[in-house]
Amino acid sequence: MRDVVDEVLPELADRAVDEVEADPFERVGDGTQFAQPALYCASIALWARGGSPRADFIAGHSLGEIGALVAGGSISIEDGLWLAARRGELMQEVADAGSPGGMLALLGDESVTRRIAAAHWLTVANDNAPGQLILSGSSEDLDAAAEEARAERLKTMPLAVSGAFHTEAMAPAVPEFRAALARIDVRPPRVPVYSSVTARPFDDIRSELADALVKPVCWRQTLFALRDEGAERFVEVGPGKVLKGLVRRTLSEVEAAVLSSREMAHAA
């Protein structure tokens, strides 16, 4: 992950090390305080390597909202890194202070998934695509839900996260993140940037970014909103192809590509 950042924005990689007081790229698996700034840097570097392409609309999934606002001109690259590092640090602190928690993807019948979530006091934290919901909550409840889901012939996939993200369990992180947001310069975006919590263009950027810590990611609804506004081509920017897959599962009539892959030349 660091290779692409060093190639395109080496000063950003160095700044990330300074912000985290460690190399976040080497410690991505050690907690969200490292993963979030590393993923942010990789996404911004891939966007820059692709020519910093403009778009008619921009959206980001969870942490990706910060990168989306950078691409839309609302937040500087440097402030975006500082926010990603602060966000990761605060979320990790809350996760470490509470009971063990995590997130679990369930693939299959959504009505069954929602029934299982309610039965085990779990939150549907991500509505990613048809047949793909992410549950969030305590590790004990997630284990019980996974066992029931397998009995119901649902596919289960634990996420490599360290806490019950996008639930009220993260509420202690919100005040300090609001304070961090108050310290940066936020400008109106050049183009509509959609919140993946409201599935609408950001209205109050600082407030909505803070709310996103405790509210579900409504990615499916965001894709529908973008489609309804006329979006016909969706280009994912960042390491991996997960969002491209979610677009294809949700919107069969649009084109989906990845800026960071071999498709870059066709997507730019």
For the entire predicted model, the pTM comes to 0.94
* Predicted pLDDT of residue 260: 60
Residue among 43, 62, 195, 196 flagged as catalytic: 62
Q: Is residue 134 over pLDDT 60?
A: yes
Question: How many CA atoms lie less than 13 Å away from 32 in the CB half-sphere?
Answer: 25
**pLDDT confidence band for 99 (50 / 70 / 90):** confident
Do residues 60 and 196 lie in contact, with contact meaning Cβ atoms separated by under 8 Å? yes
Is 62 in the active site? Answer: yes
- Within a 10 A sphere around the Cβ of 138, how many other Cβ atoms? 19
Q: For this structure, is 139 an active site residue?
A: no
Residue 185 scores a pLDDT above 60: yes
Report the 10 Å Cβ neighbour count for 30: 13
pLDDT at residue 216 is higher than 60: yes
Average pLDDT over residues 179-198: 97
Q: Could you tell me the two tokens for 180?
A: 């961090």
- Domains annotated for the chain, with CATH where assigned, are 2-97+167-267 (3.40.366.10), 101-158 (3.30.70.250)
pLDDT tops 70 at residue 263: no
pLDDT of residue 130: 97
Mean per-residue pLDDT, 13-32: 96
Do 68 and 59 form a contact (C-beta atoms < 8 A)? yes
* Mean of pLDDT over the chain: 95
Check if the beta carbon of residue 128 is closer than 8 Å to that of residue 246.
yes
Catalytic-role residue among 166, 195, 196, 260: 166
